[in-house]
Amino acid sequence: MKLTLKRYRMVLLMIVVYTILYFSFNPLFNPAVSGSIRSLTELLIVVPPIFILIGLLDVWVEREKMMKLMGPESKGLGLLIAFLLGSVAAGPLYAAFPVAITLLKKGSSFRNVLVLLGAWSTTKIPMLMFESTSMGLSFTITRFVINLFGIMAIALISEKLLSEKTILTISEKFSQS
């Protein structure tokens, strides 16, 4: 019972907040509920295809192949693959985390997973195309280059600052889940 309450504490908290909104601040209740329903709908549209693709990745790509392509010894090839995967990916950033966990389970290096997350969040191709038409090509190229160096720097610095034991603990934690 205690575990169930702990697991669903955020849901229970939201029920309490919505109840308070309904009785105390009724004009805010309908917009809050409709916003939550929109977010939940988006989540239900995005997440199932991502999990299907993750399942296929898990079954089709052998761990040895993933370690060769994106493992600790992959060097520039792993960084390039991670960057391209993140840039061509579809969906919001929260969809990237299950992909990142799967890559860690398959033996991808921590650095490459950070590059994937950075690219997913800042260098998506559709976003770059929209940005170049609305903000101009020179702005888009400048931002892209800055993000490229920023992503690589964050990944490399994070890997250097975190001990091997910490990175191993993170990888093992997700390998067991």
The confidence score (pLDDT) of residue 80 equals 93
Average pLDDT, stretch 146-175? 86
0.95 exceeded by pTM:
no
Question: 177: pLDDT confidence band, cut at 50, 70 and 90?
Answer: low
Question: How far is the CA of 79 from the CAs of 85, 96, 123, 133, in angstroms?
Answer: 10, 16, 14, 28
What pLDDT shows up at residue 175?
A: 61
* Predicted local confidence at residue 22, as pLDDT: 86
The CA-atom distances, in angstroms, between 91 and each of 5, 22, 102, 150 are: 31, 33, 17, 22
Express each pLDDT in 65-117 by its tens digit.
888 888 888 888 999 999 999 998 878 888 888 888 888 888 888 999 999 99
pLDDT of residue 32: 84
pLDDT above 90 coverage of the chain, percent? 31
Looking at residue 44, what is its pLDDT?
A: 86
Kindly state the DSSP code that residue 122 receives in the 8-state scheme: H
pLDDT > 80? residue 40: yes
CA 124 to chain centre: 13
Q: What is the mean pLDDT of the chain?
A: 87
Domain ranges of the chain: 1-60, 63-177
CB atoms within 10 A of CB 10: 8
Average pLDDT estimate for 29-46: 86
